[in-house]
Amino acid sequence: MSSTTEQSKTKLEFRRFREGDQKWKRWQDKIFDADHSHKCPTYIQATPPCQGSCPAGEDIRGYLNIVRGIEKPPAAPAGQQAMSWQEYAFRRLTEANPFPSVMGRVCPAPCESGCNRNQVEDFVGINSVEHFLGDTAIAKNYAYDQPAAATGKKVAVIGGGPAGLSAAYQLRRKGHEVTIFDEHPELGGMMRYGIPGFRTPRNILDAEIKRILDIGVQTRLSCRIGTQVSMEQIRAEFDAVFLGLGAQAGRALPCPGNEAPNVVTATAFLQAFNDGRMRHVGKRVVVVGGGDTSIDVATVARRLGHIEQAREQDRPEHAIAGHMGHDVAAISAKQGAEVTLTSVFGIEKMQANKHEIEQAMAEGIAIRGGLVPVMVVRDAAGRATALRVAKCEAKFVGPRLEIKTIEGTEEDIPADLIVSAIGQAVDFTGLEEFNNGKGAVSADKNYQVAGKEGVFVGGDIVRPHLLTTAIGHGSIAADGIDRFLRNEAQDKRPKIDVHQFDLIRKMMEKGLKVEETHEPLRGTDASNVAVHNYENRSDRYVIPHEELFLGHFGYTPRNPRQTITLSKETALGNFEERIVALTEAQAQAEAKRCMSCGQCFECDNCVVYCPQIAVKKVPKAQATVGRYVYTDYDRCVGCHICMDVCPTGYIKMGLGE
């Protein structure tokens, strides 16, 4: 059946002030003093919280404005066809993230949690618009532009996962020669070997990787650096190195009995499944975790099911160890597996995506929170027969997790297969020089490895987190590598390190002459760069909802993607994708719900409501996105009305302080 578990809120906020706000300020004191203005409008561009929350640093507001029609593609040169808005939005998105179709499916979307629209009724479906643009790009065969000029510099990228591919993509765009080394036969890292194909369809992943390779990125697959090729050889051949090894070694259960052959790690389990080696599991599977990986393991186990009368060689641990012995699975009727997922946290505090938790429970997976593993119960042959757990209380004290076991609450959960999904580790074999002693690599804000000139790092090897976080690491490291190769000093990274709207680019696209190369600051109403007092604070300020005029936005329900929800019975053997992409009309409608926080979106409120006719539209020949209105300061009396009716918080009162 088809359904969605995403619920819209009905809360609506109409006014800036609330009941009980009784303190009255004399308008004479606030607005003007005698015959001159105290404060007048100044135009401040800020970062919206969606972008501030995006680990990949996408210009979310920018591509949503393109999808909704506010920002138009640049005019095409004579004799050439104009770019479509779909392609223009795709290119704006992929300046930061070359995997929109994959991330549109699997990213837990912290951008949506930060969205200011949550204060009106419900967040903007950013992830679903990204999904639409990614799929459109594949369907229409959009390709990245080839690098304009070669620098003659060569960079080795070790690891072909999201961090390595992101770094390779950004470095190649800058004109450097890039070679990716990966120990697997195919690129993708955790996107291929860690996430099941019904969440990241392989044709989608392959298309987005191919687009990166097509701009000239070279590969050497089935090649492990540190054993087959030494770091000395890499340093001799390349001018810089990016370490994107990932953390594809799992962590064992921290309890006695974890050496039983049918107690395995989540990474080994998922790799065996994604390699096609594992085709069924035991009748009873227990997964220990609470994050997204544990949900992936549980849902895969539910789909694989078990077979009766399984032979010794058909046990799943043999497949995980690297053996192919499941021919019997093709001819024996499969039955469902009983899957239990335990977490030290309660269900409401589990780190996994809430939507994925709901889907797993709908499939009949038993999720039990507040339980900690105590020991693995084994039979005489040494195989696990149950996982002994106890009730617990878990909380973070700083970065450290404290777990208090409640005595006398132990119980055994029967199991034919136990999977540990409690974390990942890095395999430093042959690369021990980079291990900081804590199983990771230490780096600075530019992701340059301490004491290793020309070596940069990113992804789970720095800190296991989201795929989109690894993509952001790769992009930032590529900037650092580029500066290193050009013998430039490593700049201090901005406080808010995301891709932003570029006013200069928009002016140049329109053919407007730009004499100044610096960004305009306060008091630039006579500048040719900004026709009003303009300041770009995007690198350091995220605008909160309190600074918006929320009353401008009426209740507009979200356009949720359709999700195929499976039951306990229908999940068995079902490896089809469950998320249905938005249509073009739905994607545009969803983009129109964006409130363009921190940037003008041409609503005309300030022009209409100004009692002095002091706020005016920029002449059409000079207007661009982000350069739409200006203030005639000879008329302005500092009444604040323009600021109060600005929906996006773009207008502030200044100049008098």
First to last CA, the chain: 61
* Average pLDDT of the residues in 19-29: 56
pLDDT in tens, 494-540: 899 899 888 878 888 888 776 654 444 444 455 555 556 778 899 99
- Which of these ranges, 10-14, 199-203, 483-487, has the smallest mean pLDDT? 10-14
Q: For residue 312, how far is the Cα from the chain centroid?
A: 42
pLDDT in tens, 217-234: 999 999 999 999 999 999
What pLDDT, on a 0 to 100 scale, did the predictor assign at position 7? 43
What pLDDT, on a 0 to 100 scale, did the predictor assign at position 38? 63
* Spatial distance between the Cα atoms of 308 and 333, rounded to a whole number of angstroms: 8
* Spatial distance between the Cα atoms of 585 and 265, rounded to a whole number of angstroms: 43
What pLDDT, on a 0 to 100 scale, did the predictor assign at position 523? 40
* Average pLDDT of the residues in 377-391: 96
What pLDDT, on a 0 to 100 scale, did the predictor assign at position 22? 58
Q: Name the pairing type of β-strands 334-335 and 306-307.
A: antiparallel
φ, ψ for residue 302, nearest 5 deg? -60, -40
Short-list 322, 319, 321, CA closest to 304? 319
- Asked if residue 645 has pLDDT above 60, the reply is yes
* Average pLDDT of the residues in 440-457: 93
Query: Exposed/middle/buried for 408, CB within 10 Å: 0-12, 13-18, 19+?
Result: exposed
What pLDDT, on a 0 to 100 scale, did the predictor assign at position 172? 98
pLDDT in tens, 465-481: 899 999 999 999 999 99
Q: Do domains 154-247+426-485 and 251-423 have the same CATH topology?
A: yes
pLDDT in tens, 84-96: 999 999 999 999 9
Who wins on pLDDT, 534 or 444? 444
pLDDT in tens, 133-159: 999 999 999 999 999 889 999 999 999
- Asked if residue 25 has pLDDT above 70, the reply is no
CA atoms in the 13 A half-sphere facing the CB of 215: 27
- Which of these ranges, 6-20, 307-321, 504-518, has the smallest mean pLDDT? 6-20
Would you state the structure tokens that stand for residue 616, as one six-digit string? Answer: 């005016």
* Average pLDDT of the residues in 637-643: 87
* Average pLDDT of the residues in 567-594: 95
What pLDDT, on a 0 to 100 scale, did the predictor assign at position 284? 95
* Average pLDDT of the residues in 236-241: 98
- Asked if residue 330 has pLDDT above 50, the reply is no
The architecture in CATH of the region 251-423 reads 3-Layer(bba) Sandwich (3.50)
In DSSP notation, 167-189 reads HHHHHHHTT-EEEEEESSSSS-T
Confidence of residue 20 (pLDDT cuts 50, 70, 90): low
Would you state the structure tokens that stand for residue 123, as one six-digit string? Answer: 């967040």
Q: What is the mean pLDDT of the chain?
A: 88
* Spatial distance between the Cα atoms of 302 and 304, rounded to a whole number of angstroms: 6
pLDDT in tens, 363-381: 999 999 999 999 999 999 9
* Spatial distance between the Cα atoms of 127 and 63, rounded to a whole number of angstroms: 12
**Alpha helices for 422-538 (secondary structure H):** 467-485, 503-509
Query: Exposed/middle/buried for 85, CB within 10 Å: 0-12, 13-18, 19+?
Result: middle
What pLDDT, on a 0 to 100 scale, did the predictor assign at position 34? 41
- Which of these ranges, 356-360, 393-397, 583-587, 623-627, has the smallest mean pLDDT? 623-627
* Spatial distance between the Cα atoms of 478 and 178, rounded to a whole number of angstroms: 11
Classify 198 in phi/psi space as left (phi over 0), alpha (psi -120 to 50) or beta: alpha
CA triple 49-52-56, angle to 5 deg: 135
What pLDDT, on a 0 to 100 scale, did the predictor assign at position 518? 47
- Let me know how long the chain is: 657
- Residue 542 contacts residue 47 (beta carbons within 8 Å): yes
- Residue 103 contacts residue 579 (beta carbons within 8 Å): no
Short-list 641, 649, 657, 648, CA closest to 27? 641
**Cβ partners under 8 Å of residue 369, min gap 6:** 290, 342, 343, 344, 345, 346, 347, 348, 349, 350
Would you state the structure tokens that stand for residue 167, as one six-digit string? Answer: 């770094």
Confidence of residue 17 (pLDDT cuts 50, 70, 90): low
- Residue 489 contacts residue 483 (beta carbons within 8 Å): yes
- Asked if residue 76 has pLDDT above 70, the reply is yes
* Spatial distance between the Cα atoms of 262 and 258, rounded to a whole number of angstroms: 9
What pLDDT, on a 0 to 100 scale, did the predictor assign at position 81? 87
* Spatial distance between the Cα atoms of 158 and 220, rounded to a whole number of angstroms: 10
Classify 265 in phi/psi space as left (phi over 0), alpha (psi -120 to 50) or beta: beta
What pLDDT, on a 0 to 100 scale, did the predictor assign at position 29? 53
| Helix, strand, coil share of the chain (percent; to 5) | 30, 20, 50
Instruction: For the chain, give every domain's residue range.
Output: 2-54+499-654, 154-247+426-485, 251-423
* Spatial distance between the Cα atoms of 67 and 69, rounded to a whole number of angstroms: 5
Short-list 178, 209, 165, CA closest to 473? 165
- Asked if residue 438 has pLDDT above 70, the reply is yes
What pLDDT, on a 0 to 100 scale, did the predictor assign at position 502? 82
The architecture in CATH of the region 154-247+426-485 reads 3-Layer(bba) Sandwich (3.50)
Which pTM value belongs to this model? 0.89
Q: What is the percent of the chain where pLDDT is above 70?
A: 87
CA triple 442-448-451, angle to 5 deg: 70
- Asked if residue 577 has pLDDT above 80, the reply is yes
Residue type, 143: A
350: helix, coil or strand?
Answer: coil
- Asked if residue 310 has pLDDT above 70, the reply is no
* Spatial distance between the Cα atoms of 210 and 312, rounded to a whole number of angstroms: 41
* Spatial distance between the Cα atoms of 319 and 483, rounded to a whole number of angstroms: 46
* Residue 496, strand partner residues: none
- Asked if residue 574 has pLDDT above 50, the reply is yes
What pLDDT, on a 0 to 100 scale, did the predictor assign at position 232? 95
* Residue 478, strand partner residues: none
What pLDDT, on a 0 to 100 scale, did the predictor assign at position 637? 83
